[in-house]
Chain A
């Protein structure tokens, strides 16, 4: 039966059907071979998969990001980052990394981060003498901080599927996200020196303060999100809702760039983006149920245990498998497919669930920039006008840096578990 189920899934994916249909369709075929179970169980489990309260954070964080973009907050963020760090060699590249990190602390999506920051920074870097492919590659890799630094759509997905605290996963992503940002800044500095880029004048403290004041409403958002969650004031879902209201209010009343007539368009765009993920999640519910019922995680553990019983070797194998899966499959469907298998596996092998969640999500996010296909690569090509071939060639170097960070967080679990342990000691 497992063979039929897995074969159906692989065949449906190969036929080019949407992955959501592949997930639901393979479950339907499995049930057709199992006359004891009625097909009405399918809509029942799909409905159950879509109606979980923590999942409401997904449309709300998407809406918050879109409202922020529409309200013009992104431009002030970028201007502030340039004022602070634009004067050192390769300053605009560093400013891009910092702007991505701040935007990542508001948005949970890498593609949204790449588009929002890339649209402003890639042309700016080009104007100031940056090689176009280098600027685009830095933006694409820095955008991967979007779903690593909290809030994060992949962490919400993983948390719900694997039954791990979303707040703890959010906290666990902070240090890995910052290490990635730091690594990218070292790379940018090195390339800027090698290519002898010009150095710009340092902004005066007055200019920095003025820029900081204008960007303050946007800079305050991460404080609301993480402060609210950590302070116990609200759940991640409620934090997302409050962020939406905050983004809408400052977009309308402070920046005055968000028009009421554009609200339906923003709601629709956010609705379509989140429906893509939610539909996947709903249709993966019967898939996950069959995976559990047929004890596929146990079979995987038995198979892998034959190779090694060391959690470190197993984590390496998991990383390699996920990197391969991440090339053709986007982050959200990849998490939906692998989390029901990997989470119980981690529990049996004694791997910390938060550590496993961070490693899985970080790894699969890298799939967004792994040439030749990846959502962020496509988005950056779109905003920069650069060909996919050129960007793919340029993105390899920063990709290796991201891969090194992945190895670091794989083998130093404290990098993921330190902050959750410090701020949420009761949660494991």
Chain B
């Protein structure tokens, strides 16, 4: 568990810096496009691809960091409304499903990434595997964070209900 925690802390740090990096690219490239059009009178062919691919990366990495920081909205009305025992059961089932879903997305995302290394982007001509790689990477970080959450959830006893 300690090892998993340490690995996840490093993954979160990397994902955080990755989010900052790709957000920085978006914040520079889009205004540059306007600058290029009106000031230096030259249109760049790469700006659309660089910014949208950066958006995909910033979304997947930022989504992973946001998962840990509670940014991902959920509807907890049902699990909060039912008796605590049933609520814990439902939450546990939710965490297990998330693990399965994120594992599947990591796997199929990796398959899709490998397939797309054979294709090139229309404007820049780079292998499409590079932008697609944000999916397995982002889903993998989310999987690791959810695994830690699952171990914590299933490893601790539920708080005893206070007797009336």
Residue ranges of A at the interface with B (Cβ–Cβ < 8 Å): 12-21, 24-25, 28, 39-40, 42-44, 46-47, 50-53, 55-56, 59-60, 63, 233-234, 237-238, 240-242, 244-245, 264, 267-268, 270-276, 278-280, 282, 328-330, 332-333, 373
Contacts and interface: CB of A to CB of B under 8 A. Distances in A.
Interface in B31-67: 31, 33-34, 38, 48, 51-53, 55-56, 58-63, 65-67
Interface of B: 16, 19-20, 22-24, 26-27, 30-31, 33-34, 38, 48, 51-53, 55-56, 58-63, 65-67, 69, 71-79, 90-91, 93-94, 97-98, 101-102, 104-105, 108-109, 111-112, 115, 131-132, 134-135
Contact of B73 (A12, A56, A333): A333
B27 A267 contact: yes
A61 to B, nearest CB: 11
A44 B119 CA distance: 13
B88 to A, nearest CB: 11
Given A16-B76, A63-B23, A275-B71, A47 B62 contact: no
A279 B63 contact: yes
Contacts of B52: 51-53, 56
Contacts of B61: 271, 275
Contact of B56 (A15, A40, A51, A274): A51
A333 B52 CA distance: 21
A275 B132 contact: no
A40 B20 contact: no
15 contacts: A17-B98, A21-B97, A21-B101, A25-B98, A43-B108, A50-B59, A51-B56, A55-B55, A56-B51, A56-B55, A241-B27, A242-B31, A242-B34, A274-B58, A329-B75
A16 B91 contact: yes
A271 B22 contact: yes
A19 B22 CA distance: 25
Contacts of A278: 55, 58-59, 62-63
A55 B51 CA distance: 10
A268 B105 contact: no
A51 B75 CA distance: 27
Given A272-B65, A275-B66, A267 B112 contact: no
B63 A43 contact: no
A276 B94 contact: no
Nearest to A237: B30
Nearest to B55: A56
B73 A18 contact: yes
Nearest to A268: B20
Nearest to B113: A43
Given A16-B76, A270-B23, A40 B62 contact: no
A21 B19 CA distance: 20
Most buried by A among B63, B91, B97, B132: B63
Contact of A56 (B30, B69, B134): B30
A46 B63 CA distance: 13
Given A25-B97, A240-B30, A242-B34, A275 B74 contact: no
A12 B58 contact: no
CB-CB nearest 8 A-B residue pairs:
A275-B62, A241-B30, A15-B94, A18-B72, A271-B19, A279-B63, A278-B59, A14-B78
Nearest to B65: A272
Contacts of A237: 30
Nearest to A42: B108
Interface centre among A40, A51, A238 (most CB of B within 10 A): A51
A16 B94 contact: yes
Contacts of B26: 56, 59-60, 241
Contacts of B22: 271
Nearest to B18: A271
A338 to B, nearest CB: 15
Contacts of B73: 18-19, 276, 280, 329-330, 332-333
B69 to A, nearest CB: 7
Given A15-B79, A16-B91, A43-B105, 18 more contacts: A12-B94, A17-B94, A19-B74, A40-B108, A43-B112, A50-B55, A56-B26, A238-B34, A241-B27, A241-B33, A268-B16, A271-B19, A271-B58, A271-B61, A275-B19, A279-B63, A328-B75, A373-B77
